[in-house]
Amino acid sequence: MCGIIGYVGPRPSQDILISGLARLEYRGYDSAGIAVIDGEGGLGTRKRAGKLQVLRDDLAAHPLADGTTGIGHTRWATHGGPTDANAHPHLADDDKLAVIHNGIIENFAELKSELVAEGYTFRSETDTEVAAVLLGREYQASGDLVEAFRATVSRLEGAFTLLALHRDQPGLVVGARRNSPLVIGLGDGENFLGSDVAAFVEHTRHALAIGQDEIVAITPQEVTVTDFSGDAVDVEPFEVVWDAAAADKGGWSSFMAKEVSEEPEAVANTIRGRVHDGLVQIPELDGLDELFTGIDRVIVIACGTAAYAGMVGKYALEQWARVPVDVELAHEFRYRDPVIGPRTLVVSISQSGETMDTLMAVKYAREAGAKTLSICNTQGATIPRESDAIVYTHAGPEVAVASTKAFVAQITALYLLALHVGRVRGALTDEAIAEQVAQLEAVPEKIARVLAGEQEHIEQFAHWMADTRSVIFLGRHVGYPIALEGALKLKEISYIHAEGFAAGELKHGPIALIEPGQPVFVMVPSPTSSPLLHAKVVSNIQEIRARGARIIAVAEEGDAAVLPFADEVLRIPLAEPLFEPLLAVVPLHIFAMGLATAKGLDVDQPRNLAKSVTVE
């Protein structure tokens, strides 16, 4: 969950490190630090608890001597609280060696005991310092940073990306990864390392993805990748398809505001290039028809918002591809001994492609003989490389911790997958596919209409509700996962109690929560395309309104039946049932953002959270 960057080249490294950390701060913002080998051969470090600006201010007041080799880190705390002492980098070998780390070293206590017995001392509560001290000991023995690194990582258990530099070897940064992200940026006479491409995209779009249990050494002119045994390995090059400007606010008040505004574009870009003559053709899946015809079951695995996208996708896969689908939380999946085999397709969903729970579940599924397919937004990520097939979303970089545009892009990718599998399996005619594709292609313009027509209204009543302490969300059919998503967004960035329920569950317990003034968002199905569900949801509204609830209905244009029972109506354009989630979720994203803003909270960096969960 931490952000890391390494640089070697001709330019002053501090500016590169700080700008890279600014683009990585969504990965953790408990503390930040840098280490630089200066032009005189000295190693200077600075680290501070708090957000990156605290470090910036410190460096402005007390500059470090600059150099052309450096590493930087922004932290989401695991071992040890967010203090100056626990911030990275950590030093060893008489403060000549600096180490930064993303992940958790599970056997750190055992290693620390061994090192303490040898007389080594520690200045922090972190597992990272154990790795640094161990690396320092190995370097004293070999005098070679790469070989010392190899000896060190062979002793470590858990998930980690480590970067290190040593004062005696300027112009060299060494990194290693196991179950944690690391990518290489290739420049002209300079090279970069980063936990994702955002670290260096303003300098180069040329990148290399390194694999599991591999070590990389970068100098200004060379990149060398070996496995933990020292054998050379091939690395996979790729081009970053977005530029640095895509990860800037661009004048918006927050990244979340910008990303909500980009939801139409995220859907359109995920569709683009995958529809030809009314039929879905996904280039990444060419030649894989046998994979889809050979399955008799699909299991979708994901966490958080991605799991709710999977729940929406379940309806499309079952309706269009006629294959049974289960949706499971990735962190529960592999611990319950699931029944899977060669005729099971496990579909993982992860914006970052590095979500540790999901990665471990994918590995478990492959080892059990299942086929695996990843839906991911990030090039060079680990989960796609561990999967048999990949469908990329094209939402562009998402910086705000609370996911918005990636969510609608994930649903779109699942719909494309469902239509593709439906064609391959013969469950849909070309005419039926063309009909659904036409509706999907109309979604971006409809989302834009919601943003244009409802945003000011929603932000206004969100401001009125700034003192609200609890909100309930209700939905049926595809509206149920949207209710869950609406509640999650409110919890993430507004820090108030929020729950999403299937509307049919009301009388089975949750109606006891209703008291006078209780705000309840209701996802109202279309009265034209879903008349039976519409009638049932209107009945639910009447039940809770009779008990004093305040109703905020998300309903399609022209639905007059909800007007007598709703205190607020948020309108969405007409759409068939399966396409309503892509529209109904937009007012909920706006509302969560508006309420958090009204409370004076940081919508981009909510407390205790980070964007990419790379530890279990």
- Catalytic position from the list 2, 258, 405, 599: 2
Statement: residue 616 has pLDDT above 70: no
397: cis peptide before it, omega within 30°?
no
Q: DSSP H helical segments within 324-381, as ranges?
A: 330-333, 356-367
> Cβ(462)–Cβ(598) under 8 Å?
yes
How many Å separate Cα 75 from the centre of its chain? 16
The single residue of 112, 258, 314, 611 carrying the catalytic annotation is 611
Cα separation of 180 and 165, whole Å? 19
Query: Which domains can be identified in the chain, with CATH numbers?
Result: 3-246 (3.60.20.10), 249-441 (3.40.50.10490), 447-616 (3.40.50.10490)
Distance CA 66, CA 81 (A): 29
The tens digit of pLDDT for each residue in 17-55 reads 999 999 888 888 899 999 999 988 899 999 999 999 999
pLDDT at 507: 85
Q: pTM for the whole thing?
A: 0.90
Closest residue by Cα to residue 2 from 36, 25, 27: 27
611 is catalytic: yes
Q: What is the pLDDT of residues 437-464, one digit of tens each?
A: 999 999 999 999 999 999 999 999 999 9
- For the chain, percent of residues with pLDDT exceeding 70: 99
Residue 307: name the closest of 107, 171, 514, 480 by CA. 480
- Judge whether 14 and 37 are in contact, CB under 8 Å: no
Q: How many CB atoms lie within 10 A of CB 103?
A: 26
pLDDT digits (tens, 9 = 90+) for 50-85: 999 999 999 999 999 989 999 999 998 888 889 999
Give the Å distances, CA to CA, from 436 to 275, 427, 481, 493, 583.
11, 13, 21, 35, 16
Nearest to 587 by CA among 489, 503, 496: 489
